[in-house]
Amino acid sequence: MSKIKLTGSNSGYVEISSAADAGNLTLALPTSGTALLSNADNVFSGITTFTGLNITDDVTFNGGSYDVLWDASDNQLEFGDNAKLSFGASSDLQLYHDGNHSYIHDTGTGTLRVQSSQMNVIKADGSETMAIFVADAEVGLFFNNSKKIETTNTGAVVTGICTATSFSGSGENLTRTTQLSHRNLILNGRFDVFQRFLPGSQVTCNAGSNFYCMDRWYARGEGSLGVFKLIQQDIQSEGQGAHAAARVQVTTNVTPGAGDVYKIAQRIEGSNIRHLNFGTSAAKTITLSFLVKSTVTGTHGGSLMNSAQNRSYPFTYTISSANTWEQKSITIPGDTGGTWVTNFGIGLELNFDMGSGSSKRGSAGGSWIGARAEGATGAVQLISTSSANWYVTRVQIEVGTVSTPFENISYPEELARCQRYYYMHARGSSNWIGVATVYQDNNLFCHVKFPVTMRSNPSRDVANGSSYFLAYSNGGNDGFNTFSGSWNTQTNGTGLNAYSNDGVSGRSAGHSAMIITNHADAYLGFNADL
């Protein structure tokens, strides 16, 4: 085979080129430095081996269907859509983008391993973490940059509600940071218990009123001449998981004065909030949740408050659609200041504001304030809207930052819990009260045993009317008007003196008699409410 040897001078180079076409191949051999192989079209074909090649510009590799570009300015190798980076004798591992999605495709029979001491999965723009993996430590899964699941040396921690279709095992070792049952600080949150009145009764709240209605719930009116009714409303047919709701109906609307208050509220016994640690640095966060609807849309308000009414947390919630049930949840930080009752007095009061004046409201800024606030500044004043209606049910206050499903307590248990504060012993005609002893003319002594220990020595809540009550004995019967006179009380039972100007003269001292109600409007109850 013949050879051609080209030798350059000391000052120049040897060039092979076509005189007709300057774009054809040029071989330039300088006397020193690097040999240059150039082409005006930057196309090289038929060259299979390069030794000591140094390329300083973009290079495109043309595939049968897809191209690969070395981008010198960006210092990166750029694969076109569907151009694959392949590894392995059989291209077992492939990396590529198809125009819509990106793939790491392991087609082999082995294991795809990602090895690192820590790996973070980050959102494309770097703004949030989606998952973390730390060697010899945690695995964490996030939602909206908030960690929800974290593995530990003992198992896993779930922040929020854990929903599962089934569980295996006995569950004996399941633990939680807050109590599972009886977690709701609110009693009668479904408004089922209604001892004081007949079911469905409408109780009117005038200005200057302050009275209990459905058990543990009271209505209050202070100031102007607005009037609303508080009603136990049957909502069983509405499919909201509750038999009853509290309904507020405005019957006389008024623009509240600065110091006016219109609300429904529940006072929680201090002994039931001890575990909240309010007034200390260890105060616990709580969450209020409820189901609500109203004829009046917009921002409504309420508050939490201590017994001294010098610590309040105003809150707001939005009713978006008229006459439509909406679930609300409000997370409230624990109060590290103030004085909180933790005995048998008023510990914490929940207020639903129906139209308080400006001096009885505070800013709902997410913090506790050192003043009385029945509601939030700027919130809807229901009492100012003629014939307005507002409903609430499934009210719950619990420890934690998450609103869990409403805790359904059986009616007998809920009734017993309410009877600690109020006990209706007998109502209506021909209901048995107890056995009495005649200890002197016109006087009976009757002992009543309460079903539960009451919060404090109760006061009598008794009807008064002509022969509302009756004393039966083997000598006949005598009617008397009410229970009166001196009496002895205990939290677990009481002794009653029955006395009437009508007399029980047919009964002699030492006789026994059975005491019953004798009128449809007669009742005997005991009140130890807060």
Cα 457 to Cα 257: distance, rounded to the nearest angstrom: 37
Run of H or E residues at 224: none
Cα 463 to Cα 385: distance, rounded to the nearest angstrom: 35
8 A C-beta contact, residue 444 and residue 504? yes
8 A C-beta contact, residue 84 and residue 77? no
The whole-number average pLDDT for the span 423-430 is 94
Q: Is the pTM of this model over 0.85?
A: no
What pLDDT is stored for residue 443 in this prediction? 73
* Tokens encoding 455: 């919060």
Contacts of 403 (CB under 8 A, 6+ apart): 287, 289, 329, 331, 396
Residue ranges covered by each domain of the chain: 118-158, 202-415, 420-527
What pLDDT is stored for residue 35 in this prediction? 47
Cα 195 to Cα 416: distance, rounded to the nearest angstrom: 11
What pLDDT is stored for residue 175 in this prediction? 61
- Summarize pLDDT for 73-97 with one digit per residue, the tens: 888 888 888 888 888 888 888 888 9
8 A C-beta contact, residue 469 and residue 522? yes
Which DSSP string do the residues of 51-91 spell out, in sequence order? SS----S-EEEE-SS-EEEEETTTTEEEEPTT--EEESTT-
Structure-model confidence comparison of residues 21 and 244, the more confident one: 244
The whole-number average pLDDT for the span 143-161 is 88
Structure-model confidence comparison of residues 36 and 101, the more confident one: 101
What pLDDT is stored for residue 53 in this prediction? 67
Tell the residue number behind the tokens 């990396």, with chain if given. 95
Q: How confident is the model at residue 446 (pLDDT cuts 50, 70, 90)?
A: confident
Cα 226 to Cα 249: distance, rounded to the nearest angstrom: 11
Structure-model confidence comparison of residues 43 and 154, the more confident one: 154
Q: Is residue 174 pLDDT above 80, yes or no?
A: no
**Four-CA torsion 220, 226, 227, 228, nearest 10 degrees:** -70
CATH of 202-415, one of 2.60.120.260, 3.30.420.40, 1.20.1260.10, 2.40.50.100: 2.60.120.260
Q: How confident is the model at residue 41 (pLDDT cuts 50, 70, 90)?
A: low
Q: Is residue 467 pLDDT above 50, yes or no?
A: yes
- Summarize pLDDT for 312-331 with one digit per residue, the tens: 999 999 999 999 999 999 99
